[in-house]
Chain A
Amino acid sequence: MAITFTKAPILRAITSCVPSRCFDNMTDSTAFEREEVEKVVKMAGVKTRHLAADDECSSDLCVAAAQDVLRSLQWDPASVDALIMVTQSPDYFLPSTACVVQRRLGLSDACAAFDVGLGCSGYPYGIWLASMMLQCPGFRRVLVLHGETPTRFSDKGDRAVALLFGDAGSATALEAGPADTSGDSKWWFCLHTDGSGADDLILAGGGFRDRFPSDPRKSWVHMNGANVFNFTIKRVPALVEETVTSSGVSREQVDYFIFHQSNRFIMRHLLKKANLPEAKVPMTIGEFGSAGGPSVPLTMTRGGLERPADRDLKLMLLGYGVGLSWGSALVTLPPAAVLNHIQLERPAASSVT
Chain B
Amino acid sequence: MNREETLGWLAEVFEESPEYIQPERLRNDIPTWDSVGVLNLMAGIDEKFGVVLSDKEIRAMMKVDDILTLLEQKGKLK
- Please give the residue numbers on chain A whose beta carbons come within 8 Å of chain B beta carbons, in ascending order: 39-40, 43, 159-160, 224-227, 229-230, 233-234, 265-266, 269, 272-273
Contacts and interface: CB of A to CB of B under 8 A. Distances in A.
A229 B36 contact: no
27 contacts: A39-B36, A43-B36, A43-B40, A159-B35, A160-B35, A224-B55, A226-B38, A226-B42, A226-B53, A226-B54, A226-B55, A226-B58, A229-B39, A229-B42, A230-B42, A230-B53, A230-B54, A230-B55, A233-B43, A233-B52, A234-B52, A265-B39, A266-B39, A266-B43, A269-B43, A272-B47, A273-B46
Nearest to B43: A269
A43 B54 contact: no
Given A269-B46, A269-B47, A230 B52 contact: yes
A233 B36 contact: no
A269 B55 CA distance: 18
A273 B47 CA distance: 8
Contacts of B46: 233, 269, 273
Nearest to B46: A233
A229 B40 CA distance: 11
Nearest to B44: A269
Going nearest first, the 8 A-B pairs with the smallest beta carbon separation are A226-B55, A269-B43, A227-B55, A43-B36, A226-B58, A230-B52, A39-B36, A229-B42
A225 B39 contact: yes
* Size class of the B contact interface (CB-based, 8 Å): 10 to 19
A273 to B, nearest CB: 8
Contacts of A273: 46
A265 B43 CA distance: 9
A132 B40 CA distance: 41
Contacts of A265: 39-40, 43
Best-buried of B43, B52, B54, B58 by chain A (most CB within 10 Å): B43
Contacts of B55: 224, 226-227, 230
A321 to B, nearest CB: 15
Contacts of B52: 230, 233-234
Contacts of B40: 43, 265
Question: Which of B39, B40, B42, B55 has the most chain A CB atoms closer than 10 A to its own CB?
Answer: B39
A102 to B, nearest CB: 42
Interface in B35-71: 35-36, 38-40, 42-43, 46-47, 52-55, 58
Interface in B16-38: 35-36, 38
A285 to B, nearest CB: 15
B39 to A, nearest CB: 6
A224 B35 CA distance: 10
Given A230-B52, A230-B55, 20 more contacts: A39-B36, A40-B36, A43-B36, A43-B39, A43-B40, A159-B35, A224-B55, A226-B38, A226-B39, A226-B53, A226-B54, A226-B58, A229-B42, A230-B54, A233-B46, A233-B52, A234-B52, A266-B39, A266-B43, A272-B47
Contacts of A43: 36, 39-40
Contacts of B43: 229, 233, 265-266, 269
A55 to B, nearest CB: 32
A225 B54 contact: no
A1 to B, nearest CB: 25
Contacts of B38: 225-226
A150 to B, nearest CB: 18
Nearest to A224: B55
Contacts of A40: 36
